[in-house]
Amino acid sequence: MTAVDVGPVGTPEFEPVAVRADYAPPTVGIDPDQTKGWMKRLLPLVRAHRRTLVIGVITGVFALATQVAVPAAGRSAVDAAITGDRRALWIVAVLIAVFGVGRLIFGGVYRFYLFKLGWNVETDLRAIMYEHLTRLSFSYYDRTQSGQVISRANSDIRSVQLLLAFGPLISMNLLMFVMALGFMVYIHPWLALVALAPLPGVYWFGLKFRNQVFPLSWVTQARMADLATIVDENVNGTRVVKSFAAEKRQIALLGRSAQRIQWTNVEIANSRSRWNPIIESLPRLGTAMVVLYGGWLAIEGVVSIGTLLAFSAYVIMLQVPFRMAGFVLMQGQRAGAAAQRIYEILDEVPEIIDSPTAVDIVEPRGQVDFEDVRFGYNPETPVLDGFSLHIEPGERVAIVGSTGSGKSTVARLLDRFYDVDGGSVSIDGTDVRDVTLRSLRHTVGLVLDEPFLFSASVHDNIAYARPTASRADVVAAATAAQAHGFICELADGYDSVVGERGYTLSGGQRQRIAIARTLLANPKVLVLDDATSAIDVTVEEAIHQALQGLMDNRTTIIIAHRLSTISLAERVVVLDQGRVANVGTHADLLATDPHYVEILARHSDDDSVDGSGGASGNGDGKVGQGLDSNLPGFPKSGDAPWTFGGGG
């Protein structure tokens, strides 16, 4: 265990394995002030790339200056040609060529840097969002659809990036508008005023367009997230969909969702078709007025022919921003709606965080204490109510209870996936809320009943607990978990890539890889939450034999219903209605606790019916008929010293 510099401010944090990132994280985040507009909140990320922005803006100004200077030079060229001044005509021609080369060079540089700015901000925003998602508490994911998160982390950020990429270019066009207008006012103020006459109408119609598009853009982004949720659930739940032959039903569901998106997109298209032609056409009215009034001035000799041609070119430059105004307004509204949805995630405050005085668990002993714990996922319905338990370092304890009694919740509170509503959970006498999350979760290794595997090689899935582990260490962990045999039979052995979530493997194989992954982390406290529920009894016995040695000097909490798994424990805790109902050895509880016997009988009967092999039975559904076992101290059927329902 070492401490490495991580995080945007470079503060030392506990890190179980010293793995340095290949890429530096963003140095800043968004502005936390929720009262500011979405663009103002994004400014800190833009400022972090100020060098790129400054280079892009400076070269952009030079590029536009050379472009705006061409009509002015053309004015002199036309007037020189009319007067027959050959020397002036040559000079102006050379200047126009120089301006063209300058536009080529500066234009390429400023486009490169401004697009780079957009991509850099997008990269930072993705990194910030993903880092924030890793810190959000489990309660957030309990109430949030995965498709919503995926949509905001992908399509919404992409919408913001598009505006950041094209927005500066539009700004350059606005700067060109200002430069061109300056030349026009310098040449002839009244003619310039005529050219600007239609612009108030452009602003008014643009405002109408914005007011219609913004709410539609918000609805579109939300409905796209709903569609992403449906796709995500159908991909991940494809086995359920196919097992119930529900493909057509799901396609219809997807179609309805797509139609809802279609409606908003059609409404946006209607708004564009209504307002964009007006916004783009009004400046052309200015062109007609310039030709009419400027032509009259040229006839009267007030302005030269070259001036009239220069004005015509500048009027075209004035129109460029307005031709792009429709796209900018629509993309701006979409980016604004997308940014607000992104900020909803970034403004979410993690419930489970390190306290300012949190300390690292450096040399854990493995003592675990639950003191009068009260907790409920819904506060009105407590799962644990007055749960107290003391576990000595190195002790092996099994927690047994009926479904919904809170067994798995005990493990989640110990690893601080959730905080208790009352009471305390402690490691080595220190409340888990007073230790750092990194060191706590390195100390407490949790193997869940539903193991998750990444779409990567078997080696990488096992080494996920310790990325620097050698192949020998990975093989040793897999061997202890009884996974080495079937891994070697895979096409590429440890280099075989498992499918998404590991579905190319059986449930038992996934569980063994998950056990190997946790064993490789070598936690001082090991929690097995029904970790062998999908494993064949014969394989489970081999795993237990391997675990017997690995459990030495390691506190082990076993949440199970199989008799074979319970046999690993030195002490059994019976959980009922969120509190400890009884504690004792397996043999003592069999002889004295009818509730314990009933729990075992129920699960043993279930195992006999589903074929998972918890204990042998005749499968006729009679309670207690599947309780025969070769475990020491466990009586044969018919010899049991208990009755059901009454006393022991």
Residues in the chain: 648
User: Which H or E run contains 142?
Assistant: helix 138-143
User: Does the pLDDT at position 189 exceed 60?
Assistant: yes
Of 357 and 166, more confident: 357
| Cα 529 from Cα 306, distance rounded (Å) | 86
Q: Which residues are registered as beta bridge partners of 477?
A: none
- For the four alpha carbons of 313, 314, 317 and 323, in that order, the dihedral sign comes to negative
134's tokens = 């890793």
Contacts of residue 208, Cβ cutoff 8 Å, sequence gap at least 6: 275
| Cα 151 from Cα 618, distance rounded (Å) | 51
| Cα 329 from Cα 586, distance rounded (Å) | 71
| Cα 528 from Cα 254, distance rounded (Å) | 39
Looking at residues 9-28, what average pLDDT do you find? Answer: 60
CA-based end-to-end distance of the chain: 50
| Cα 91 from Cα 637, distance rounded (Å) | 112
Looking at residues 310-332, what average pLDDT do you find? Answer: 71
331's tokens = 């993309």
pLDDT band at 646 (very low <50, low <70, confident <90, very high): very low
User: Which amino acid, 627?
Assistant: L
Question: Do the beta carbons of residue 26 and residue 48 sit within 8 Å?
Answer: yes
The pLDDT, as a whole number, for residue 531 is 64
Quickly count: other Cβ atoms within 10 Å of residue 324's Cβ.
18
Question: Do the beta carbons of residue 465 and residue 518 sit within 8 Å?
Answer: yes
| Cα 113 from Cα 56, distance rounded (Å) | 5
DSSP class of 13: E
At 71-112, the pLDDT tens digits run 888 878 887 788 777 888 888 888 889 988 988 999 889 889
At 156-167, the pLDDT tens digits run 887 787 777 777
3-class SS at 174? helix
Of 132 and 196, more confident: 132
* Closest among 407, 501, 511 to 449, alpha carbons compared: 511
At 532-575, the pLDDT tens digits run 665 666 666 666 666 666 677 889 898 877 777 787 788 999 99
At 22-78, the pLDDT tens digits run 667 788 888 888 888 888 888 898 888 889 988 988 898 888 888 888 888 887 888
DSSP class of 277: H
DSSP H stretches of helix in 34-85: 38-47, 50-83
The pLDDT, as a whole number, for residue 505 is 83
Helices and strands, number each (H, E), in the chain: 22, 12
The pLDDT, as a whole number, for residue 572 is 92
DSSP H stretches of helix in 324-367: 325-346
Q: 396-401 and 555-559 as β-strands: parallel, antiparallel, unpaired?
A: parallel
Contacts of residue 116, Cβ cutoff 8 Å, sequence gap at least 6: 52, 56
At 450-463, the pLDDT tens digits run 778 888 899 999 99
Looking at residues 1-17, what average pLDDT do you find? Answer: 43
Beta strands in 79-147 (DSSP E): none
| Cα 241 from Cα 136, distance rounded (Å) | 30
User: Which amino acid, 284?
Assistant: R
Question: Do the beta carbons of residue 569 and residue 557 sit within 8 Å?
Answer: no
- CB-neighbour burial class of residue 441 (10 A; exposed 0-12, middle 13-18, buried 19+): middle
Domains of the chain, each with CATH number or no CATH: 1-26 (no CATH), 31-346 (1.20.1560.10), 368-584 (3.40.50.300), 587-648 (no CATH)
40's tokens = 């103002």
Kindly report whether the global pTM for this prediction surpasses the value 0.75: no
DSSP class of 188: -
| Cα 40 from Cα 43, distance rounded (Å) | 5
- Report the percent of the chain where pLDDT is more than 70: 81
User: Does the pLDDT at position 633 exceed 50?
Assistant: no
Looking at residues 369-376, what average pLDDT do you find? Answer: 93
DSSP H stretches of helix in 197-246: 199-236, 238-243
Computed over every residue of the chain, the mean pLDDT equals 78
pLDDT band at 187 (very low <50, low <70, confident <90, very high): confident
At 567-619, the pLDDT tens digits run 778 899 999 888 898 999 888 888 888 888 888 887 665 554 444 433 333 33
| Cα 455 from Cα 502, distance rounded (Å) | 7
| Cα 24 from Cα 128, distance rounded (Å) | 12
| Cα 373 from Cα 423, distance rounded (Å) | 4
